[in-house]
Amino acid sequence: MGALWIAHVTVTDADAYGKYAELAGPAIAKHGGTFVARGGRFVQLEGKERPRNVVAKFPSVDAAVECYHSPEYQEALSHARGASERELMVVETSE
């Protein structure tokens, strides 16, 4: 089954986070991820609002988790730490 990688983000350092975004896209693509939503319009109905929301589709939960732990993504993530407040989850799809 497929999986969705869902991130809710508040950027606190745009320059550093820009480096993260530059490196994260290729790392996600390398693991079969494709972006479904990336910072578009949203309506917060419940919970803490984060101004940036990203959804990527992966072939499986395992592929998404492997991507997260990959050296390429961890390098990207090193630029996001301290440059953002974020939550990230992987959810298996029913399709």
> Can you read off the two tokens belonging to residue 80?
């996001």
Confidence at 81, pLDDT banded by 50, 70, 90: very high
**What is the structure's pLDDT at 39?**
87
Between the CA atoms of 11, 16, 17 and 22, what dihedral angle is there, to the nearest 10 degrees? 170
For residues 34 and 56, is the Cβ–Cβ distance under 8 A? Answer: yes
Residue range 17-65, pLDDT digits in tens: 999 999 999 999 999 999 999 989 999 999 999 999 999 999 999 999 9
> Can you read off the two tokens belonging to residue 25?
């896209």
If you average pLDDT over residues 71-80, what whole number do you get?
96
List the domain boundaries for the chain: 3-41+50-92
Fold of 3-41+50-92: Alpha-Beta Plaits (3.30.70)
